[in-house]
Structure 1
Amino acid sequence: MWPWGVAVLLLAWAAMGAWQRCKPLPEGVGQAWPERPAAQVRLLVDETWYDAQGQQHRRQAIFDEMLTMIEQARRLVVLDVFLFNDFAGATEGKEFRPLSGELAEALIAQQRRHPTLEAVVVTDPLNTFYGSLAPEHFARLRAAGVRVVITDLNRLRASNPLWSGLWHLGPRWLGNRSDGGWLPNALGPGRVTLRSYLALLNFNANHRKTLVVDHGDDWAGLVTSANPHDASSLHGNVALRFAGPAARDLLVSERWVAAWGGVKLSGPSSPEASPVEGGGPRLQLVTEGAIREALLAAIGRAGRGERLNIAVFYLSHRGLIEALVAARRRGVRVRVLLDPNQEAFGLKKGGIPNRPVADELVAAGIEVRWCLTRGEQCHGKLLLRHPVATDGEAEMILGSANFTRRNLDNLNLETSVRLVGAPDTPVIMEAMAFFRRRWDATPACASSEPYVAGHAVRGWQVLRYRIMEATGLSTF
């Protein structure tokens, strides 16, 4: 009878994998919110560059602003971040800014100053290595009255259905414990369990990076590509800080994810009914698959003579790549600034996916440059569309989502914002200036370097990238 048993198991595996890949999305996932008036909008950047002597220079603003926002909160703080730890990987011993500790201490101090403050942290289970570790800063947050929600990723669709079909049939239901690890932690100190490594193979995440706080009688929000992760403190990142109805939308978007962990947030439970009226810059919150649609629409709107500028950590989504190639063919000037994908926390990488993608883009006539990195990452996720006519509208999209299948096809939790306005809108001009600084590198301010055809990847690496992107058997 064993052949029948094997056949039943394989059928159950395939059926569960298909269901997990196609099951209905949880409520609130993949939302495009109404356009809102862009109130109190500020662009924040973290950037690193090198002078003619090779000395590293840094300018950082994102987490300083987050600490300020937390310090002025009185009623509610909701922080949703992917990496919130001091894991250093192979860079153990190097000096980093202790972002995780700074943010945790700011939340604890504000909770103690204002005992009625409702402070909630939503984060990814990777920070506990999927249940194998009990981070000390999480214990201190909870002891101070801050609620810490570990996102239930099983609610999401499967990014790697080949494995997730089997995961949901068996290993998912096994217990885990934070003091039972016997395997080395690949990300940092401590020992972890085999079950945690099996959970890791699902390759999905709550990848959001947001903060929303009360601000007097109003709300203030921040959406970024930056993680409060010590070993990420030198990375280049971008953020948008804003207030008003869009910040209210951000809070509503977080209610659903917090509810997965049994936490009911106070404040508004539904978005405002009326969209923006009149002229002026407009701001729109987009999550998960709606980010993909916003990116594709922005690229599709670019006409002959217009400019598309992209600076992104990962670019591999086939739909976006095809849209960029099509834009170049109809006369759009497309410039793409990419991380070389050569190093991650001290570990060498093979340049996938960005190097094979860069070859494809250059072959289509698209300009490509590499971020100049020496251990840090070009971690931002930014698209800028600039019109030809001065009376046209410019567009900017930034946030947590890399331009990959996992980040854009409703597999991870992601949050980005879309800003539309006149080309001389101050925050759009600042974003354009930021991109030019990164693109137009000089010996005195080296931040990027040219694409070199001799560094092209081999055919098997292109095939590897295509398989990894299509199947989900990857970390990008």
Structure 2
Amino acid sequence: MWPWIVTALLVAWLAMGAWQRYKPLPEGLGQAFPERTAEGVRFLADETWYAPSGERHARRRIFDEAMALIGQAERLVVLDMFLFNDFAGAADGQDFRPLSAQLTDALVKRRSQRPALEAVVITDPLNTLYGGLAPAHLKRLREAGVTVVITDLTRLRASNPLWSGAWHLGPRWLGNHHDGGWLPNPLGPGKVPLRSYLSLLNFNANHRKTLVVDRGDGWSALVTSANPHDASSRHGNVALRFEGAAALDLLASERPVAGWSGVRLPGPGALDAPQAPVAGARLQVLTEGAIRRALLAAIEASDSGDRLDVAVFYLSHRELIEALVAARRRGVVLRVLLDPNRDAFGIEKGGIPNRPVARELHAAGVPIRWCVTQGEQCHSKLLLRRPADAGGEVEMILGSANFTRRNLDDLNLETSVRLVGPAGTEALIDAAAFFERRWHSTPPRITSEPFAAHDDASTGQWLRYRLMEATGLSTF
């Protein structure tokens, strides 16, 4: 009987893995909302640079803005953040900004000032090590009347089906509990059960980073690449703050995720699509696979003489890489600024995927530069397209999504925004200036270095990257 039992288990494993990889997406995911009039739009960035002596300088704006928005809310706050904790991993002991405590304080304070305020925090189960920990700040939020939603990742497709097929057949149903852990927390202090590790191997995530608040009779929102995570407080990041109908679209995009946990988000629904094309600067909310489609459309729309700038933490998606190479061949003036993938919270990484991808792009004639980092990460996710025609429209896409298979192929939950408008639009001018500051390193303000500084990718690394990207056996 054993051969039959083993065969049956193998078939069940493969069938479950295939189902989890290709099952229908939950309703409301992968949306491109209508283009809206861009109201109250401001580009924000967290930046780091170095003096010739090696002294680090920084300018941080994103979470100051987020906490200011929370501080003026009267009726509703909806916050969806991937990493919301004080874990530091091997980087413990460094002088990080206590973002998780500060954001918790801001929410609790506003709830005490406005008891009728409804506040909802949506976050990824990684912050509880998939049920293996009970973080004090999440308990404090609940005690203050804030609704805390731990995202149900089982609704998502499997990014690592080789493991998820087995996990959904067995370990998933064991549940988890924060008492009785005996294994070290891989991300910080405390002990966690084996079940936390088994959940971690699925590599799924609610990777969104969004905020929506009421503003009197109106609405304000923030979409960013930044996390309220202490050990991420030195990272370079970008964000877009905006108001109006697009903010209600962002609120609508969060309703399905909250609904998986039985939480109904209050507030008005998204408005109907405009009956006529919107004039002037336009803003569009994008989630999951719609982000990939918008990125590809922007690259493919670039023609000879157009400028295309990319600044991204991870670049590995094959379709995007091929589109960038094709754009270069068409005569697009292309620049790609990458993180060297060297640092991860005190642990030295091997440069995958960016270094083998950078070598491939460099060989195709694409100019590459590396962010200068000393422990922090160049964590932006930004594409900026500027036409050769001075009177043409500029396009920008930024948000939570790295340019990877997991982030763009409907595997993670992701949110980005697309801003299109005249070259004189202030947010687009500020985004272009941000890229120039990072790209053009100067002796008094060291921000980047040439491709040769990290041109050390081997054939083995390239093969590992391709295998990891194709199978999902990776953290990017």
Partner of 2:34: 34
- TM-score computed with the length of structure 1 as normaliser: 0.99
Q: Does 1:113 align with 2:88?
A: no
Deviation readout 1:183-235 (Å, 9 max, x if unpaired): 00110000001011000000010000000000110110000000000000000
Partner of 1:6: 6
Mapped contact 1:255–1:269 kept (Cα < 8 A): no
Q: Does 1:429 align with 2:443?
A: no
Deviation at 1:276, TM superposition (A): 6.2
Matched ranges for 1:195-344 at <5 A: 195-274=195-274, 277-344=277-344
Q: Which amino acid aligns with 1:100?
A: S
Deviation at 1:454, TM superposition (A): 7.5
Q: Distance in 1 between matches of 2:454 and 2:231?
A: 31
Identity score, percent: 70
SS at structure 2 position matched to 1:412? coil
Q: Distance in 1 between matches of 2:275 and 2:53?
A: 52
Deviation at 1:180, TM superposition (A): 1.6
Aligned-residue CA RMSD (Å): 0.9
Mapped contact 1:238–1:398 kept (Cα < 8 A): yes
Q: Does 1:60 align with 2:60?
A: yes
Partner of 1:351: 351
Deviation readout 1:317-370 (Å, 9 max, x if unpaired): 000000000000010011000000011000010000000000000000000000
Deviation at 1:443, TM superposition (A): 1.1
Q: Distance in 2 between matches of 1:76 and 1:275?
A: 29
Q: Which amino acid aligns with 1:305?
A: G
Matched ranges for 1:446-461 at <5 A: 446-452=446-452, 455-461=455-461
Deviation at 1:271, TM superposition (A): 3.3
SS at structure 2 position matched to 1:434? helix
- TM-score computed with the length of structure 2 as normaliser: 0.99
Q: Distance in 2 between matches of 1:454 and 1:23?
A: 40
Q: Distance in 2 between matches of 1:275 and 1:78?
A: 29
SS at structure 1 position matched to 2:148? strand
Count how many residue pairs are aligned between Structure 1 and Structure 2. 476
Q: Which amino acid aligns with 1:35?
A: E
Q: Distance in 2 between matches of 1:244 and 1:270?
A: 11
Q: Distance in 2 between matches of 1:298 and 1:179?
A: 49
Partner of 1:95: 95
Mapped contact 2:246–2:283 kept (Cα < 8 A): yes
Change (3 A) 1:243 1:162: same
Deviation readout 1:117-167 (Å, 9 max, x if unpaired): 000000000000000000000000000000000000000000000000000
Deviation at 1:278, TM superposition (A): 4.5
Q: Which amino acid aligns with 1:297?
A: A
Q: Does 1:364 align with 2:359?
A: no
Q: Which amino acid aligns with 2:93?
A: G
Q: Distance in 2 between matches of 1:297 and 1:92?
A: 42
Q: Distance in 2 between matches of 1:454 and 1:43?
A: 30
Deviation at 1:179, TM superposition (A): 1.0
Q: Distance in 2 between matches of 1:455 and 1:211?
A: 38
Q: Which amino acid aligns with 2:284?
A: Q
Q: Distance in 2 between matches of 1:418 and 1:181?
A: 43
Mapped contact 1:387–1:423 kept (Cα < 8 A): no
Q: Distance in 1 between matches of 2:2 and 2:419?
A: 60
Partner of 2:394: 394
Which region of structure 1 is more displaced relative to structure 2, 177-186 or 265-274?
Answer: 265-274
Deviation at 1:272, TM superposition (A): 2.6
Partner of 1:19: 19
Q: Distance in 1 between matches of 2:38 and 2:398?
A: 15
SS at structure 2 position matched to 1:274? coil
SS at structure 2 position matched to 1:203? coil
Deviation at 1:51, TM superposition (A): 1.1
Q: Distance in 2 between matches of 1:335 and 1:160?
A: 32
Q: Which amino acid aligns with 2:66?
A: M
Deviation at 1:270, TM superposition (A): 3.7
SS at structure 2 position matched to 1:132? coil
Q: Which amino acid aligns with 1:53?
A: S
Q: Distance in 2 between matches of 1:50 and 1:453?
A: 16
Mapped contact 2:355–2:454 kept (Cα < 8 A): no
SS at structure 1 position matched to 2:48? strand
Q: Distance in 2 between matches of 1:272 and 1:161?
A: 38
Q: Which amino acid aligns with 1:317?
A: H
Q: Which amino acid aligns with 2:111?
A: Q
Partner of 2:83: 83
Deviation at 1:456, TM superposition (A): 2.8
Which blocks of at least 5 consecutive residues in structure 1 are unaligned? none
Q: Distance in 2 between matches of 1:85 and 1:454?
A: 31
Q: Which amino acid aligns with 1:99?
A: L
Q: Distance in 2 between matches of 1:94 and 1:114?
A: 35
Deviation readout 1:6-50 (Å, 9 max, x if unpaired): 000000000000000000001111000000000000001000000
Q: Which amino acid aligns with 2:384?
A: L
Q: Distance in 1 between matches of 2:269 and 2:253?
A: 9
Change (3 A) 1:454 1:71: closer
SS at structure 2 position matched to 1:298? helix
Q: Distance in 1 between matches of 2:25 and 2:274?
A: 26
Q: Which amino acid aligns with 2:448?
A: S
Q: Which amino acid aligns with 2:166?
A: L
Change (3 A) 1:73 1:275: farther
SS at structure 2 position matched to 1:452? helix
Q: Distance in 1 between matches of 2:411 and 2:384?
A: 25
Which region of structure 1 is more displaced relative to structure 2, 272-281 or 222-231?
Answer: 272-281
Deviation at 1:426, TM superposition (A): 1.1
